[in-house]
Amino acid sequence: MKNLKHRGKDKYMNPYVAGVLLGFVIMAAFFFSGEGLGGSGAFKDIVKTTVVSVAPDYAAHSHYFKSATELDHSPLKTWLAFEVLGILIGGILSGAYARRLNLRIEHSPKITSRKRIGFAILGGALFGMGSQLGRGCTSGAGLSGMAVMSVSGFLVVAAIFGTGYLLAWFFRKLWI
């Protein structure tokens, strides 16, 4: 009985309620800031900031980094970098509220922690490359792109999930 007060707090939100709320957050981003939500953009800003400060000569001659060397402020002072910092804070707040804060490696019992970490790094690296080529990730190119009914948004979502389904069988031992 002692947990009665907290009963329900650790349950996940209804997905349709979460979806509608998230839809309003997307609308707020467009209405107040003229921006879509994103994820990968902040990582790009970190890479740009690092390379521009460590190797400014290289950056000035690189097609990828050139624009970042011409800014009058840090490449990290972007809307997306602050938004992603917000995701981190929002995640901590929700996790604290729902009592889900704890250090762990989540993985299927069929694989080792080491294997999970290896595949997580691989998956992250692929997302890093793919998001640069595709001009954004699931959030930025996909979700925000679909919110403004852009062809690009639907195309990237179909490619991401289509590929995932095609390859799911080969990677099933990682998950089930």
Partner 1 sequence: MAPVFEQGSEVNLIAALLIGIAFGWILESAGFSSSKKLAGVFYGYDFVVIKVFFTAAVTAAAGLLILNQLGLLYFEDVWMPTTYIVPTIIGGVIMGVGFVTGGFCPGTSVCAAAIGKIDAWAFMGGILLGIFFYSFTYESIWEPIRNSTKLGKVKIGDLIGLSEGMAVFAFLLFALFSFWLVDTIKKKYNIKDVEY
53 contacts 97 by C-beta, under 8 angstroms? no
- For residue 68, the SS3 value is helix
64 binds partner 1 (CB under 8 A): yes
* Closer of 2 and 106 to partner 1 (Cβ): 106
Residue 168 to residues 24, 43, 95, 120, 158, Cα–Cα distance (Å) = 32, 26, 29, 15, 15
d(CA 85, CA 87): 5
Q: How far is the CB of 127 from partner 1 (least distance, A)?
A: 4
53 binds partner 1 (CB under 8 A): no
Which one-letter DSSP state was computed for residue 148? T
The one among 56, 67, 117, 173 contacting partner 1 by CB under 8 A: 117
Amino acid identity, residue 137? C
Q: Maximum CA pair distance of the chain?
A: 66
Q: How far is the CB of 72 from partner 1 (least distance, A)?
A: 10
49 contacts 75 by C-beta, under 8 angstroms? yes
Using CB under 8 A as the binding rule, the residues of this chain from 132 to 151 that contact partner 1 are 132-139, 141-151
153 binds partner 1 (CB under 8 A): yes
* Closer of 1 and 16 to partner 1 (Cβ): 16
28 binds partner 1 (CB under 8 A): yes
Q: How far is the CB of 2 from partner 1 (least distance, A)?
A: 24
Q: How far is the CB of 104 from partner 1 (least distance, A)?
A: 6
25 binds partner 1 (CB under 8 A): yes
The one among 7, 34, 54, 70 contacting partner 1 by CB under 8 A: 34
CB atoms within 10 A of CB 107: 17
Question: What is the x/- site pattern for partner 1, positions 71-110, by CB under 8 A?
Answer: ------x-xx-xxxxxxxxxxxxxx--x-xxxxxxxxxx-
Q: What angle do CA 60, 124, 81 make, to 5 degrees?
A: 55
